[in-house]
Structure 1
Amino acid sequence: MHFLPSNLIVDGVRISYRDHGEGAPVVFIHGTPSYSYEWRNVVPHVEAAGHRVITYDLPGYGRSERPVDRDTSVAAQTDLLRGLLDALDIQRATIVAHDIGGAIGQRFAVAHPERVRRLMIIDTVSYDSWPSETWRKIIDEQLEEYMQLPQDAFDAILTRQLEMTVARGAATMTGDVLKAYLAPHQSALGRVSFFEHQVRHYNSRYTEEITNQLASLTMPVHILWGEGDQWQPLAYARRLTEEIPNARLTVIPGAGHFVMEDAPELVTEEILDFITS
């Protein structure tokens, strides 16, 4: 059975998801360039420890719908998260969110604090930390051109990006793991969707506009970061820790941006410690 065995329509969009286990709900939100596959070595252990875990692909990512003429920005994804929780009759949950998913988690916690029991953000985008100069140039000047890339050229670009997400580069991001991360984009639709639904929405305004509201968060917040993250410098983790009341920071040595690839056991341990504390 596929990691995400179920589908649900939320506000007219099909979302591929997994809802396993019993107990207080924990919602996992993935990042980019990624999908729920990144949680495969973490989620089953959290389920086995006695928690109800909801894992899903954001619309425009993975196995979820790639909607035509539908906003898939961080702001829109935040609204869809609320719709997903409503559809699953979940009033309050712990949120564990990575990268761009961390922006969704931050925005949701600010907008709906009564629905967030705890918040863990992992190597998240924040403030003005994104996009990189390279992505900014592509978004501003070359997006349509990149949407027309042939498969081999697209694969080469995305492979280079993925190799930057892990501490050991090509030694980790290789073989079946690399194939799995490339899999959602092995078609013309998949390649266009990557730029239309993901890259187009790399925009720091979604995090900068909530900067002054982070200090209002009162739920427990744990910030988890790979020490060697090439995309989101550790300085942003330290700033988040300073500006969110009672936030706690854990840095994982020898790990990069996809810390769940570099250190899945430690990530699992940190998550379980946080949600049971």
Structure 2
Amino acid sequence: MNVPPPLLNGQALINGCRIATGIHGAGTPLVLVHGTPAHSIIWRELVPLFVRAGFQVRLYDLLGFGASERPLHADTSVAAQAGILLALLDHWQLPRTHLFGHDIGGAIALRLAFEHAPRLHSLTLADIPSYDSWPSPTWKDMRDNHAHHALQTDSVHRSAMARQLKMAVFHKERMRDELLERYLAPLCGVVGQPSFYQHQVAHYNACYTMDFAQELPRLRLPVQLLWGVEDEWQPVAYARRLQRDIPGAAVHLYEQAGHFLMEDAPLPVAAQVIEFIQNIERN
């Protein structure tokens, strides 16, 4: 039986913190930035498709997420993560790259683009928080009471996280058993649970996206928006608003797909990203 290589096969020291990284394939550079409550697992079906299409795929777990370091004292907000991404591009010696960001990974990608657009060939943004769209009602309660939630029993916390993760997909039957456990693993336990609320939930704050209306019209690079029609956290109306504000942006909507677009529609999403980047590379 062929066992696929691990998604994360390396590490980098960025600003004194350990970041779990992965590099696969050779060719056109493509960097993947995941969101919350997720980690690199969300890319597992897309990475082999991108490699076969001739991309060198680079991905990582955000600081405070997944297999990366969970520092006791560190800023893991969207703004800080954008600085880490820039430093990681330097570490990888990538002068320019295509960038694909999902959820807050997309907000991080945009904050990077606002200040360092020459580092990017293109942007693909999937189901991202924007303007005043976040946190959604269920996450707002957890954000506002994150210290309380961090002290809940493991069983109560795991149940809440399982419920939230199932909200993220349209095909609910996908988010169960082994896959659900793989998503839950970094979010639970004596390290994972308090880290989740400290490094992720506490930073669910629209202050990092409220300036999008002013910043987005200044973008001058190819941008596409991918969105699940059944997204329960980021309504499609925000995709349309982003399209209006980003010059030349295209929107691709996916029926029967939720917030975790790469779980519900991995093949069409990968195909769209490949076509988008290949068209840019040809022109």
TM-score by length of 1: 0.97
Secondary structure, in 3 states, of the residue corresponding to 2:209?
A: helix
Tell me which of 108, 115, 119 is aligned to 2:112. 108
**Structure 1 residues 4-54: Cα deviation after superposition (integer angstroms, max 9, x where no partner):** 011110111101011122222110000111001000000111012111111
2:133 counterpart of 1:129: yes
**Which amino acid in 2 is paired with 1:177?**
L
Name the aligned partner's letter for residue 210 of structure 2: E
Distance 2:137 2:16 in 1: 35
- Following the alignment from structure 1 to structure 2, what is the Cα–Cα distance between the partners of residues 163 and 90? 36
SS at match of 1:224: strand
**Mapped pair 1:207 → 2:209:** yes
2:48 counterpart letter in structure 1: P
**Number of matched pairs:** 275
Aligned ranges 1:151-162 → 2 under 5 Å: 151-162=154-165
Q: What are the residue-to-residue correspondences of 1:51-90 with 2, within 5 Å? A: 51-90=55-94
Partner residue of 1:231? 233
- Of 21, 45, 48 in structure 2, the residue corresponding to residue 44 of structure 1 is 48
- Residue 187 of structure 1 and its aligned partner are, at CA, apart by 1.5
Paired residue for 1:120, among 120, 124, 127?
Answer: 124
Shift of 1:144: 1.3
- Distance in structure 2 (CA, Å) of the matches to 1:210 and 1:233: 17
Residue identity matched to 1:180: R
Distance 1:61 1:117 in 2: 26
- Distance of 1:27 and 1:185 partners within structure 2: 24
Letter of the 2:96 counterpart: R
**Contact 1:215/1:244 (8 A) holds in 2:** yes
Whether the 8 Å contact between 2:130 and 2:212 is mirrored in structure 1 is no
Identity %: 43
Q: What is the CA–CA distance in structure 2 between the aligned matches of 1:252 and 1:137, rounded to whole Å?
A: 29
- Per the alignment, residue 170 of structure 2 pairs with 167
1:7 aligns with 2:11: yes
8 Å contact from structure 1 (residues 107, 210) kept in 2: no
- CA–CA separation in structure 1 for the residues paired with 2:146 and 2:53: 44
Give the CA RMSD over aligned residues: 1.0
Deviations 1:159-215 (A, max 9, x none): 00001011122x121111101100112311100011000000000110112330100
1:260 aligned to 2:258?
no
The aligned amino acid for 2:59 is T
| Structure 2 CA distance for aligned equivalents of residues 225 and 139 of structure 1 | 24
Measure the CA separation in 1 of the matches of 2:226 and 2:100. Answer: 10
Residue of structure 2 equivalent to 1:146: 149
1:160-199 equivalences in 2 (<5 Å): 160-169=163-172, 171-199=173-201
Letter in 1 for 2:119: R
Displacement of 1:155 in angstroms is 0.7
| 1:18 correspondence with 2:34 | no
- In the alignment, the residues of structure 2 paired with residue 3 and residue 135 of structure 1 have an alpha-carbon distance, to the nearest angstrom, of 28
Q: How far 1:104 moved relative to its partner?
A: 0.2
Cα drift, residue 114 of structure 1: 0.6
Work out the CA distance in 1 between the residues paired with 2:60 and 2:113: 18
Q: Which residue of 1 aligns with 2:32?
A: 28
Structure 1 portions without partners, runs of 5+: none
Q: Which runs of 5+ in 2 are unaligned?
A: none
Cα distance in 2 between the residues matched to 1:10 and 1:48: 29
Q: Is this contact kept in 1: 2:14–2:87, CA < 8 A?
A: yes
CA displacement at 1:135 relative to structure 2: 2.4
SS in structure 2 at match of 1:97: strand
State the SS of the aligned residue for 1:199. Answer: helix
Deviation of 1:134 after TM superposition, in Å, equals 3.0
